[in-house]
Structure 1
Amino acid sequence: MRAEPAAPRQTAVLYRTNAQSRLVEDLLRRAEIPYHIVGNIRFYERKEIKDALAYLKVIVNPHDDVSLRRIINAPPRGIGPRSIEKAAGAAPPQEEEETLFTHAEGHAGGTSLWSGLNEGCATGRLTGRALEKMQTFLDLIDRMRANAGSEDVAGIVHGAIGRSGYLRKLENENSDESVDRIENLMELVAAAEDYQEAAERPTLADFVNRQSLLSEADEGDGPNDAQVWLMTLHAAKGLEFPTVAIAGVEEGLLPHQRSLDGDAAALEEERRLFYVGITRAMDRLVVTTTEQRRQWGSVKSLPESRFLEEAGLIGPWDADTPDDQIP
């Protein structure tokens, strides 16, 4: 059912982390409701998501030159452009006409980059450290492809993020931005798990094809006249909307786990963020929680946020509590 047209900027969905937008975006897209993201780009347009999908495309079809070039130095491996062209015999980049996987066993239009790199390493076009780095990368892809035969879709996604060294690089950066990127990758694993549960015959090729089509359909941050606006609580400062929904008001998300592991000042900042969120609503406020949430391949139970009781939105009452005793 297509949603009826509505005035722009009627509803805002707020969340603590950028990764939370993925599920909201998927639901709005299915309902054909236009949305706009403030302060970020759509989930499948984010760099780390595109990098992860490129790894998955190469696992399915290593002859996808565009994806192979994207991941060969993501994370950095010290493989320079000159080494790539020398090993490949100066093969030009090959563009795939199809969306994905049309030539899984070969390559239309001549020798693929994958074939060229393997031949270059075997025939001595590269030597020394350049050869060592390139061969290490090619061996990594071969192992990923071999492991994919015994793992489910979510396991392959999780494994690609870890085995590639991509996750370790982000963990070593230890910055707010790197934490944000890690959370986005965690959400991609959750998307793979959702796909597995819904698909009759889940395959990696089908999953990646679906996610790639979403990425191709996304347009930056979305139209400015969209009915629904999505943003983090940080980005919501100074804005007001007739209806505001705050998603994921749970311990570990709001307040964020980092504040729970930190000092009192960090927790107070989370409390202030929640206050910012609930005061963005002009007419109607909706606060949501979930009993269980997927994180890195496991399902976790997160209790409702302490802020809900502090604000009087929930309390120590139950279904038998008289109405006049509930604030």
Structure 2
Amino acid sequence: MAEKIRRYTLKQPAKAQKQYRVRYEDELNQEQLDVVMAGEGPMLVIAGAGSGKTRALTYRVSRLIEDGVDPSDILLLTFTNKAAKEMLSRVEQLVTIDTRRMWGGTFHSIGNRLLRQHADTIGYRSTFTILDAEDAKEMMESAISSLGIATLEKRFPKGDVLIDIYSYLINTRTPLELHLENNYPHFGIYRDEMINVFRRYKERKREANAMDFDDLLVNWKLLLDDYPDVSAALQRRYRYILVDEYQDTNKLQAEVVDKMAEVRRNVMMVGDDAQSIYSFRGASFENIITFPLRFPEAKIYKLEINYRSTRQILSLANASIAQNRFQFRKELQAVRGDGPDPAVVGVDDVSEQASFIAQRILELRDEGESFGDIAVLYRSHYQSLELQMELSRRLIPYEIRSGIRFFEQAHIKDVIAYLKIVTNARDELSWKRVMKLYPKVGEKTAAEVWARIGTAQNPLDAFLGGSGVGGRVSERNGDREQSSDARPPTPHSRRGAGSSLKHLRDVLSVISSESMQHNPSESIRLIVEHGYADYARAKFANSQARLDDLEQLSQYALRYDDTNAFLDEVALANPIAGEDVAVVGPEDEKIVLSSVHQAKGLEWRIVFVIWLADGRFPSQRALRVPGGIVRVKPKELHEAFELTDALVQGRGTRDEGRVDLAIDEMPEEIPHPSSSSPESELPRPSSLVPDVEIVIPGEEEERRLFYVAVTRAKQELYLVFPVMARDRGGLDILMEPSRFIRELPGDSYEKWVIGSE
């Protein structure tokens, strides 16, 4: 009898939809939600201007934590500590957990934290000092002097120039010969001497147990490349890696991230190739544009909904950036309502340009706009001079954005140097800086004192014990005595160096005590009150402003109960708000004058972009120099690369395993033409066999800069160009409107014609 069989299928119960604390569907648009809810694997998020990328980043971190990911398994890399803190604070608000266990900060701050843990692996002590730009310059100058070059070669580059060259080589992987040829041909004859100086500079850093900013990345990568056990631990340590502003990373930073993500491959890069404008700092457009080649399984997401600008402004921005051939194409869409058409304004000359802007600003104020909602943007700082004069004449208050950093001012660095001595007694630069603040102590005396104490196991103990100061001054028993007479003489004192150094000994004795090591604020106050205030009054014309800065520094230090932690923060800090601008005018509300580079990430209701003439914006240098080269296999090209006869030439596979790209145009005030690294400097995945060479025009980064400028505007946009200008000989020359204006569709703007009464 035949067996009867019935098939019965067991159905899996439907999974209940996970209930999250955060209502992601309600608080995010669909594009952001797709990013936040994405699964495992590499991701590239192309986040257009004003599209809420920070929101997408923070909500993704929150979602990961809600799904059970331990915060300590998440690494968030940003370009400012402020950005990291704001993101982590937002995450805490969303999921109400303590995010202090999460690793979030700049590349350099994370590198610092990791190297503190693994310093001994690479031959450093964990108490190493971080050299800021001024410290590094002084150490480079010391290296020059030690080789006898400074006095023999008067045209040899100074320390700060060498630091710029050295840092660029490190971060971009550019060979010295090529960099000198492209950017510093007048230094070419000093190539061998420069190599010797760089070698001595590295030795000096080692001897001082110090790292410059570049070392924080170089040594991080060294751990990943040369120490398999440490590398494996670091690669497994973080389950998810998220990188903000990826288009601004340099080659070294990209290599570090790629190596960190090599095992788990859960890396999310967030950036906008259309806002890649910092090649002059070493940022590599290649990093974001070739990400899909380095991570073939990567998913690409786009954030195109713009919450900042009107439809009219975005229409113009979209039309402009569409002219670039190399990009991830996107179309920004406005959420805000309509506004006035952008205005294209031709003026006779720079004087009329300044008059128009000043008059229009006053009209806008009368229409109810605030000065603080208005910005004037330009390609280079010198382009604002006429406008500054006109604004001053009309009593319009303004602030000028500059690169002055609070912690890099001389008086701040002087006081910080005291603290560096007591936390890292081998910090030669800080010793010499502090000693030279005292009367009768110059470079020679400071060097002699360091020669005596520098060989001791602990130079601070040797100095406090009397070495190098003309004999032992007093014995210390137990905790270091806190002398009430710790006041060095002023610069006008006639007492000798020995007396000055004894006063320094008294100050250091107090601030190096155990109790003061946990009170950096009080240490700063003591340094100022016991001598530095008198020094400042005798030295600086604006001494009161500098003393006010030091009071602010002491107040800032109140949040730290450990001097080492305070110094780490100082070394890695961004400019303090309010200290990086020059303010002219009595009112609280001021218009902003800024270069486009410094305006990135900011927004105003009303924006004027000036000097939009070919040769000025785009700059003449950008038009002369190729933007870079990328070599890839045709089958690996993706949407960011368009093959055209004008841009592609077939090449043989000259060197397997290499892909090169460099776009190195920079603001005119920083002389840095293009360069591209030879294959030997840039190891890439062996699967990439280049047989196509793509040359990127130099104007493409300039167009991205224009795109950044126009997308700063929320409501009104004015594009201004002078018809006439003067050359260096004082002759009037006819200017052609910027190609970025000429290529715009006629219906994307309104043309304004200037007349006079």
Greater radius of gyration (CA): 2
Bigger RCO (CA 8 Å, 6+ sep): 1
Q: Tell me the TM-score normalised to structure 2 length.
A: 0.17
